[in-house]
């Protein structure tokens, strides 16, 4: 199954812009226009190009989605760009072509230099992937 020419995102979600070439090529990604307090929410529509040889959403796609989602939660909470130091991913269930993969993440703790984040991706009523990460906050150096 391929995506329709015009994908209608879930209610309250809009297409994300300016995420860099990697995310642009692998997306499109969508985010909730009005985020809940402390929660960052994103989604993508699983297309054939996101699938592995079994016709399921590839683990690499799910991992990339979660990495970007957790990083977005860090940005939202700290207003600081970050890079991934550590990412732990647990695969719990399958996502299939033609499904909306939804995700939410929240920062559990932030210091001056690092942020700790937890998130999940889910389809319908079941979690597909859970992740936790540690992100280095990238402060601008004085010149």
**Residue 1 domain-assigned?**
no
| Residue 104 domain-assigned (yes or no) | yes
Does residue 30 fall inside a structural domain? Answer: yes
What pLDDT score was predicted for residue 5?
58
Mean pLDDT of the region 7-31: 87
Does any domain span residue 75? yes
**Confidence bin at 4 (pLDDT 50/70/90):** low
User: Is 47 among the domain residues?
Assistant: yes
Helix (H) or strand (E) holding 30: strand 30-32
pLDDT at position 35 is 76
Number of domains in the chain: 1
What pLDDT does 142 receive?
62
Q: Which domain holds residue 72?
A: 13-137
Q: Is residue 111 part of a domain?
A: yes
Look up the CATH number of the domain holding residue 49.
3.10.129.10
- Look at residue 3 and tell me if it is in a domain: no
pTM of the model: 0.90
Residue 45 CB partners (closer than 8 Å, separation 6+): 3, 7, 9, 28, 98, 99, 100, 101
CB 27 within 8 A of CB 44: yes
Q: Would 61 be classed as within a structural domain?
A: yes
pLDDT (mean) for 68-95: 96
pLDDT at 130 over 80: yes
Give the CA distances from residue 54 to residues 48, 57, 63, 95, 122, in Å, rounded to whole numbers and listed in that order. Answer: 11, 9, 17, 11, 19
């Amino acid at each position: 199954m391929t995506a329709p020419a015009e994908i209608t995102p879930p209610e309250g979600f809009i297409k994300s812009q300016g995420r860099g070439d990697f995310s642009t090529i692998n997306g499109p990604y969508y985010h909730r226009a009005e985020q809940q307090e402390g929660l960052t929410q994103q989604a993508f529509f699983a297309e054939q190009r996101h699938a592995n040889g079994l016709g399921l959403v590839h683990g690499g796609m799910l991992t990339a989605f979660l990495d970007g989602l957790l990083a977005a939660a860090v940005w939202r909470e700290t207003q600081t760009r970050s890079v991934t130091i550590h990412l732990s991913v647990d695969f719990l269930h399958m996502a299939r072509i033609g499904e909306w993969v939804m995700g939410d993440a929240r920062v559990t703790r932030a210091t001056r230099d690092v942020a700790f984040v937890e998130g999940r991706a889910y389809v319908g009523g079941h979690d597909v992937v859970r992740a936790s990460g540690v992100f280095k906050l990238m402060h601008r150096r004085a010149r």
